[in-house]
Amino acid sequence: MENTGNKDTRSGFGAGLLELGSTNPAVVALTADLTGSVKMDAFAAAYPHRFFQCGIAEANMIGTAAGLAITGHIPFVGTFAEFATGRVYDQLRQSVCYSAANVKIAASHAGVTLGEDGATHQTMEDIALTRALPHMAVINPCDYNQTRLATLAAAAWEGPVYLRFGRPSVPNFTPVDGPFEIGKAWVVHPGEDVTLLATGHLVWEALEAVRILAGQGIKAELINIHTIKPLDAQAVLDSAKKTGAVVTAEEHLVAGGLGEAVAGLLAQHHPVPMRMVAMEEGFGQSGTPAQLMEFYNLNAAAIVEKVLELKK
């Protein structure tokens, strides 16, 4: 699987949303003064009557989206991941999830790869927050193509969805037509010695790790867990039973992330030695995305290191 050219995942969302404009008249979009940042500008220009600028008032935006959803529309709410979760958690809980409102949260600029703006805007807690919400599906696509497909799938999914993507240009390497199905893990590369479970920007890094490990005689199986909730338990268990060792990789804190979701599953059903590539604790900081991924050990080298810990 090769990089066909770097692209930002948020633009994959923007492309998907624009397509939905013509294919699904129920789709509407809302933002809180971040139209361009979350790549809603093309949709806003093409479908102005279905686009709602809410101003810097995220709580009201979530509630308004719930009202639109109740009346049969499919609202995509776009803002930065930090403001789409921490700032509006109670609105997500009561007006969206507990109210079974079919709202799609389009959360851009997730993780440390937001970069220079620093920790105020770099949520590394959002997967934990959204995973804990009953009925919320949590999706963290890995590149432009997958984010576009995830956006289309989110519109077709009945119920609230947290769609997490990012700001930086990263390798675009997944096939333009998928496969992508919410809740169904994707085996990117089969192997038998160790299972790599990766989500978001870490999938490309994990693919790099597969290549490095192959050079050392370790056949790693890479599975893309784009849907963290509902987790594809069968895919995780099948692979863990085959390889007997699991390393997870995500751009998120250890607390409540993909690693803990997998650990919770394996601990109860098939315990195997496991390591997590994730941010241990604390907040991020300013820097380029590449610098920050390296600083916080969120890259191929970190994945290889964890695998070698398990396989030594």
Partner 1 sequence: MQQQKSPSFSALVQQVRRDIIRLVAAAKSGHPGGSLSSTDFMTMLYTEFLRQTPAQWDRTGKNMDMFFLSIGHITPLYYSILARMGYFPLEELRTFRKLGTRLQGHPAVEDGLPGIHVATGSLGQGLSVACGAALGKRLDNDPHQVYVLIGDGESQEGQIWEAALFAAHNNLGNLTAFTDWNRQQIDGHVDNVAGLGDLVAKWKSFGWLVLECDGHSEEDLRRAFQETLKPRTKPMMVLMHTHMGKGVDFMEGTHAWHGKAPSAEQEAAALAQLPETLGDF
Binding site for partner 1 (CB under 8 A): 28, 49-50, 52, 54-55, 57, 59-73, 75, 90-91, 93-95, 98-101
Of 274, 211, 207, nearest in space to 240 by CA: 274
Q: How near is the Cβ of 229 to partner 1 at its closest, in Å? A: 19
Please, which residue, 95 or 108, has the CB nearer to partner 1? 95
Please, which residue, 26 or 301, has the CB nearer to partner 1? 26
Q: How near is the Cβ of 10 to partner 1 at its closest, in Å? A: 24
Cis peptide before 179 (omega within 30 of 0): yes
Indicate which residue of 19, 58, 251, 294 is catalytic. Answer: 58
Q: What CA–CA distance (Å, rounded) separates 226 from 135?
A: 17
Please, which residue, 64 or 113, has the CB nearer to partner 1? 64
Q: How near is the Cβ of 77 to partner 1 at its closest, in Å? A: 11
Tell me phi and psi for residue 79, to 5 degrees.
-160, -175
Q: Is residue 55 classed exposed, middle or buried when 0-12, 13-18 and 19+ CB atoms within 10 A define those classes?
A: exposed
Q: How near is the Cβ of 92 to partner 1 at its closest, in Å? A: 11
58 in catalytic set: yes
Please, which residue, 43 or 296, has the CB nearer to partner 1? 43
Q: What CA–CA distance (Å, rounded) separates 231 from 214?
A: 27
Q: What CA–CA distance (Å, rounded) separates 147 from 167?
A: 12
Active-site residues: which are they?
Answer: 58
